Structure 1
Amino acid sequence: MTSFRADAPLRVARPTRNIAAAERFWVEGIGMHIQWRTDNTTSGGHELLMIGLPGAAWHLELVADPHAAIANPPGPEDLLVLYLAGAIPAELVNRAVSCGGTVVEPRNPYWARWGVTLRDPDGYLLVLCTRDWRPDAR
């Protein structure tokens, strides 16, 4: 059996049709921080934007690739869930909507009960969850 460190960094890479619109949603709307960016001169030839929260062991990598984003649309259970451990501030939701997000009804009623689901400009779903979650607290 392979063993991984519990604190091993995690990167979630997603294609985006419009990296500027994605940046606006995730950085201005949600409040993520830009950790790294590059233009399309890197190996692979894509513009990249890495965003996350300071000190977190994870980040999102947004890859400017409009053809991949169209060819592989996200499904209704393709969720990124942020556990906020408290009420979802209305100003956060309003800011996310003003920056290109859309509040949607989730397919699974669990997420409607415990948070707010937003669709980002590329169609990916983000759940802002009122619950707290830790892997050892079941």
Structure 2
Amino acid sequence: MTWPESLRVAQVRVARPTDRLDEVVRFYVEGLGLRELYRFENHAGYDGVMLGLPGTDYHLEFTTHIDGSPGTAPSAENLLVLYFETDTQMFDAAQRLGEFGVEPVPAENPYWAANGGLAFPDPDGWIVMLMPRPVF
């Protein structure tokens, strides 16, 4: 599937601030299994790290500013949802997070648990929802 002609996007990056940059990067890299793709320092007072999967055009970017960058989640419904191809792949990621010391938490919306999802908070309280299969 390709992007529509009216929206020819080359990359997608979701960015958010944090005052816990090192902890957040460890969670997503060592705990979840993403890769660090790029890092920058002191760009107009910002440091940042891009995470994702090599060769893909979808990334997460976490930044911190010298004057502070509060990054706590505004609600329990602010989610990063990762859909796996199989239950086994999802449980492998959940086990890694458990070995990293992160325990699942109840999801705010019952839809996720009813469909096999597992919710894990990152160091800022943002929820990473692991789902055992794609929706479509």
CA displacement, residues 39-92 of structure 1 (integer Å, 9 cap, x when unaligned) = 2x21x311100000122221000112484325x533111111111021154442
Contact 1:100–1:121 (Cα < 8 Å) also in 2: no
* TM-score where L is the length of structure 1: 0.81
What is residue 28 of structure 2 aligned with on the other side?
Answer: 26
Match for residue 85 of structure 1?
A: 85
Long gaps (5+) in structure 2: none
The alignment yields a C-alpha RMSD, in angstroms, of 2.2
Q: Displacement of 1:96 after TM fit?
A: 1.5
Q: Which runs of 5+ in 1 are unaligned?
A: none
Amino acid at match of 1:97: G
- The answer (yes or no) to whether the contact 2:118–2:130 under 8 Å persists in 1 is yes
Q: Which residue of 1 aligns with 2:106?
A: 105
**TM-score of the pair, normalised by structure 2:** 0.82
Residue type matched to 1:48 in 2?
A: G
Query: Given residue 27 of structure 2, which amino acid in structure 1 is its aligned partner?
Result: F
**Residue matched to 1:46:** 46
Is the CA contact 1:101–1:121 (under 8 Å) kept in the aligned structure 2? no
CA distance in 2, matches of 1:110, 1:81: 13
